[in-house]
Structure 1
Amino acid sequence: MASLYVAKQQLRSAMKNKLGAIPQESTLSQSSVVCNTLKTFKPYVEAKRVSVFLSMPTGEIQTDAIVRHALESGKEVFVPYLHKNPLASSDLPVRVMDMVRLDSMRDYEALEPDRWGIPSIDPATVHDRLRIFGGPDAHHSDKALLDLILLPGVAFDRDPDTGAIRRLGHGKGFYDYFLDRHKAKSMALGKQESSPVLLYGLALSEQFLSSPSEGSVPVGPLDQPLDGLILGNGEIKTPTGNKTAP
């Protein structure tokens, strides 16, 4: 596990330099392509409950237009909310992620940026929102599940042996733990086999490692493969090795 940690940190460091050199104009252009690709992408079109990450100002796909389109399309849009883990245990993360629903476009536009410049949910409003996990005050969270999760990442690739789409996150494990909990909840509700949540990464073209010379994404037993990856050049990478244009 120590060697896995070192490998991940080395790739994160290399990617930080690589992404820092991408002009903002390119980031915005690629973000527009990803949004337009999603508009006709069947898993997104058919999804009723969508989780969308809210972007950092630089270094990743900007999701503002995606959130707006999803809200305008009548989808239930959920965004990440980080909070202290209510379950105290040395085996569990201290901070965890839930997904909370945006009430409206006006609600979304009222979000204030955090210290990293990411629009964030006001903690004072959380208890009034529908959440995927929630607590005793969230009376409708017991049956809330997501259809589609659009994930960020630092780097992505395709496993040369299995064809799986691999993702390197930022190292906090928020999505790994959330996805484990979502799967457990889905199984408890008897929905895991009939309607599993779909996981699609959104990435700048530079974030996809297409050849061994660029490196590879190291993964461990807790890292979940993706159902696909949508790139800023319009490509949709799939686990089967297929590439399809929008």
Structure 2
Amino acid sequence: MAPVRAAKQALRRAIKVRVAALSAEEKRRQSLLVAQELFRHPKYVSSQRVAVFLSMNDEVCTQEIIKDMFKWGKSCFIPRYERSSSNMDMLKLNSLQDMESLPLTSWNIRQPAEDDNSREEALTSGGLDLILMPGLGFDRFGKRIGRGKGFYDTYLERCSKHPKGKPYTIALAFKEQLCQEIPVDANDVLIDEVLYESHQ
């Protein structure tokens, strides 16, 4: 798999350069457009249990989306990544205030603490209807390139074993993260859809 790995590394570097060139204002503008697109999406409207990432600076901002989920009474789940492995859990977020009080990781994103065992994990209860996916790059065939740790691929495998089955997956992207085609290997799980500006 070395050629695929090398191709992915080169692509990651190229995408990072493109996204780094975006101003804060432009990222905010595209993030709001993607959020509006999502709010009209039938899968989002009908989903009750939704997993969403807490965005980093080079990702579509998810704050408005999280606010909207609480407004409509959806159950909101957010990732807790384990640095030492590719394991990730989706834990229930109780409110916007709850989000503000989460500890910051070394990646500068908020997530429930390692010893916080009071939260519901999505797969130990009713599963998920929808996962909003982060990533570095996407193509129009549902291929995604992440940061190389495999957190989401591993989690989607776990989802497929849940009685509810694999949730629908929508990636949120800046149009600068769109690629012609992304090289994939056997472990890469395809996503159902990518939302970005001008996506019709």
TM-score (norm 1): 0.77
Residue equivalent to 1:172:
149
For 2:86 and 2:168, locate their aligned partners in 1 and report how far apart those are by CA, in whole Å. 24
Against the structure 1 CA distance between its residues 77 and 234, is the aligned structure 2 distance closer, same or farther, given a 3 Å change threshold? farther
Residue by residue, what CA displacement relative to the aligned partner does 1:139-164 show, whole Å, maximum 9, x if unpaired?
A: xx2x3300000001111112xxxxx3
Residue equivalent to 1:8:
8
For 1:234 and 1:199, locate their aligned partners in 2 and report how far apart those are by CA, in whole Å. 19
Structure 1 runs, 4 residues or longer, greater than 6 Å off: none
**Higher radius of gyration, 1 or 2:** 1
For 1:111 and 1:222, locate their aligned partners in 2 and report how far apart those are by CA, in whole Å. 31
Gapped regions of structure 2 (runs ≥ 5): none
Residue equivalent to 1:98:
89
2:129 maps to 1:147: yes
| Equivalent position amino acid for 1:45 in 2 | V
C-alpha deviation, 1:21, in angstroms: 0.8
Contact map agreement 2:55 2:62 (CA 8 A) in 1? yes
For 1:228 and 1:131, locate their aligned partners in 2 and report how far apart those are by CA, in whole Å. 24
C-alpha deviation, 1:73, in angstroms: 1.1
For 2:105 and 2:24, locate their aligned partners in 1 and report how far apart those are by CA, in whole Å. 20
Contact map agreement 1:131 1:144 (CA 8 A) in 2? no
Give % identity. Answer: 35
Contact map agreement 2:86 2:149 (CA 8 A) in 1? no
Secondary structure of 1:113's counterpart equals coil
Residue by residue, what CA displacement relative to the aligned partner does 1:88-127 show, whole Å, maximum 9, x if unpaired?
A: xxxxxx34101000012221222233222212212332x1
Secondary structure of 2:161's counterpart equals helix
| Equivalent position amino acid for 1:167 in 2 | R
| Equivalent position amino acid for 1:71 in 2 | F
For 1:155 and 1:99, locate their aligned partners in 2 and report how far apart those are by CA, in whole Å. 22
Residue by residue, what CA displacement relative to the aligned partner does 1:46-103 show, whole Å, maximum 9, x if unpaired?
A: 10000001111x2210111111111121000000001378xxxxxxxx3410100001
C-alpha deviation, 1:14, in angstroms: 1.1
Gapped regions of structure 1 (runs ≥ 5): 86-93, 134-140, 159-163, 236-243
TM-score (norm 2): 0.93
Secondary structure of 2:16's counterpart equals helix
Residue equivalent to 2:19:
19
Residue equivalent to 2:66:
67
| Equivalent position amino acid for 2:133 in 1 | L
C-alpha deviation, 1:221, in angstroms: 1.2
What is the aligned-residue RMSD (CA, Å)?
A: 1.6
Structure with greater proportional strand content: 1
Aligned residues: 200
Contact map agreement 1:100 1:132 (CA 8 A) in 2? yes
| Equivalent position amino acid for 2:182 in 1 | V
Higher RCO (CA-CA < 8 Å; seq separation 6+) = 2
Contact map agreement 1:96 1:178 (CA 8 A) in 2? yes
C-alpha deviation, 1:132, in angstroms: 2.6
Contact map agreement 1:37 1:234 (CA 8 A) in 2? no
2:114 maps to 1:131: no
For 2:33 and 2:144, locate their aligned partners in 1 and report how far apart those are by CA, in whole Å. 21
